[in-house]
Structure 1
Amino acid sequence: MIPTPAIAPTLNRPARRGGALWLLAACGALPFSAHADEACRAGTARADRLAGLGLRGELVLASGARAVLSDLRWPDEPEADAAARAWLLSFRDTPLALTERGSEDRWGRRRADVVTEGAEPTDLAGGLIAAGLAQADPGEADALCRPSLRALEAVPRAAGLGLWKAGPIEATDAAALTARAGRFAVVEGRILHVGERSARTYLDFAPRGMQGLTVIVQKRTWRGMAEHGLSTATLRGRLVRIRGTVEMRRGPVIDLDTRDAIEVVEGERALRR
């Protein structure tokens, strides 16, 4: 069931410690993250209000500016899209604190961390994720600017809320993966084989002779993963969660574009952050 705005949970309700700015810091939204590369570089928080929404959750602000929520994947499913839009629009005209990240895109928008002002601030991206209405995703960035957002998925995933109604797709479920072709998916499975080549690395989840997910990692991304403890030795046999768009080639494939599109859910001690 997709939660409605009336019952979807808000994220954190601190009445003290500096209001919205404290919440930004608590949720990893201020520039002290280990992922503080250029795309994640945060500016000074500024005030604005939500005037409306554009396509795929684009924030239309009272100032005339437009922004997209950082580290958030807007849902593809029509029902979740409608519920997420309704949840955000419940904050129309509410004073907001925006912390913009990186440079403007071709449409003049910036990614932003957005928190409502007041005694009980709500983190908009965190609230959507905690309600199961959206999922954490680095998109085209090299890493999540706010890795803590992934942890907010645990409750809706366990409860089967919203986008997690069927849980993560099993990496060996070829039929379910095929049904997601061309769309974003969160896939969970155990890496059975790591094929490291000069230009790219292949992560295979199905036994030989059976269809299942193959993840392709380009050399640059593989190098970045190695710097954070992800290698052939630390990944083989691990249970992991993969995020990305499913493509159909000889079988279902996800091209892993960023190091935070893979999450080790078993044996995390092998990682360095």
Structure 2
Amino acid sequence: MVPGGRREAHGVVPGAGRFGAPGPALVWLLAAACGGSAAPHTLAAAPQAEEACRPAAARADRLADVGPRGELILASGRRAVLSGLHWPDAPEIDAAARSWLLAFRGMPLVLTERGPEDRWGRRRADGIAGEAEPVDLAGGLVAAGLGYAGAGEAEALCRPALRALEAAPRAAGHGLWAGGPLAATDEPSLSARAGRFVVVEGRILHVGERSARTYLDFARRGEQGLTVTVQKRTWRILSEHGLSAATLRGRLVRIRGTVEIGRGPLIDLAGVEGIEVVEGERALRR
């Protein structure tokens, strides 16, 4: 059941416009099933990340409004952002995501906060809206293709299993996934997204280990494509979990991060959650 008691045809959530979403009950079941567990390729979090992700006691509130970039403005006067969600940068999808959240305005909301306040006085929180058919808000946005699973400005991705909910919109080409996954060899598309958070798929062709950082190259020599830099500490953690130069070379991976432009498109891996080995899934569409 959707807000207001109406059951929408074809499982489309009100406010999503042309961006389809699964029914709220399904969203809740999917997100609840994976919300606290590790995804298949998730690496163990560092102790400081575990502390930042430790959940507080749940509390009740109501959604009063939605501010810029998905800020939850609550009836209590407090403000929060959804944990585990990277808000979309594209204006059209930003508007659709905001409309999706506004469908829950005035409804009961259970918040489980994680970590300290950010510099704007907001808490990161898991948000469950509604009572008869509760909806995981972050999970619903990800499942509708209206948000990426990501740490945002937090130190760690506290709900890595939300990444599993990207599979359906990615396969259907909904929302953020329109046109299929962004390819690591698509230099024009990557460059056009400079300064924006992206999720990129590609096969690592070369691994260059240096004293301060490691370089993962996705394009052949003389061709343009993505380069990922991995700082020494992150590379050490990856290596401890079996992701070394030898095991990564030739593997199909998914990278999350913000595109920068150097000699070509570049992503500096923010942490171990920024890379997933997806070998065994369907081949990347060219």
Give the alignment's TM-score, normalised by structure 2: 0.84
Matched pairs, number: 260
Aligned to 1:42: 55
Q: Alignment partner for residue 118 of structure 2, among 77, 92, 105?
A: 105
Deviation at 1:175, TM superposition (A): 1.0
CA RMSD of aligned residues (A): 2.4
Aligned twin of 1:138: 151
CA distance, structure 2, for counterparts of residue 240 and residue 171 of structure 1 = 10
1-structure distance, mates of 2:179, 2:32: 32
Which residue is 1:80 aligned to?
Answer: 93
Alpha-carbon distance change, 41 to 73 in structure 1, aligned in 2, over 3 angstroms:
same
- Would you say the 8 A contact 1:142–1:259 is kept in 2? no
The offset of 1:226, in angstroms, is: 2.4
Q: Distance in 2 between matches of 1:95 and 1:29?
A: 22
**Aligned equivalents of 1:198, 1:38: Cα separation in 2:** 30
Distance in 2, matches of 1:230 and 1:144, equals 19
- 1:5 aligned partner: 15
Partner letter of residue 123 of structure 1?
Answer: D
For 1:5 and 1:53, the matched residues in 2 are separated by: 13
Equivalent residue in structure 2 for 1:26, among 33, 44, 63: 33
Contact 1:10 1:123 in 2 (8 A): no
| Aligned 1:54-203 pairs, distance under 5 A | 54-203=67-216
Give the Cα–Cα distance (whole angstroms) in 2 for the partners of residues 46 and 30 of structure 1.
22
Unpaired stretches in structure 2, ≥5 consecutive residues: 1-11, 282-286
Calculate the TM-score normalised by the size of structure 1: 0.88
- Which residue is equivalent to 1:262? 275
Moved beyond 6 Å, runs of 4+: none
Task: Look up the SS of the partner of 1:67 in the other structure.
Answer: strand
Q: Percent identity?
A: 71
1:242 aligns to what? Answer: 255
Aligned to 2:239: 226
Residues 70-99 of structure 1, C-alpha deviations (whole Å, 9 max, x = no match): 111111111101110000000001101111
Given the alignment, which residue of 205, 229, 242 partners 1:216? 229
The one-letter amino acid paired with 2:34 is C
Q: Take 2:242 and 2:13, find their aligned partners in 1: how far apart are those partners?
A: 37
> Measured at CA, do residues 170 and 64 of structure 1 come closer, stay the same or move farther in structure 2, by a change above 3 Å?
same
Kindly indicate whether the alpha-carbon contact (under 8 Å) linking 1:3 and 1:161 is maintained by their aligned counterparts in 2: no
SS at match of 1:240: strand
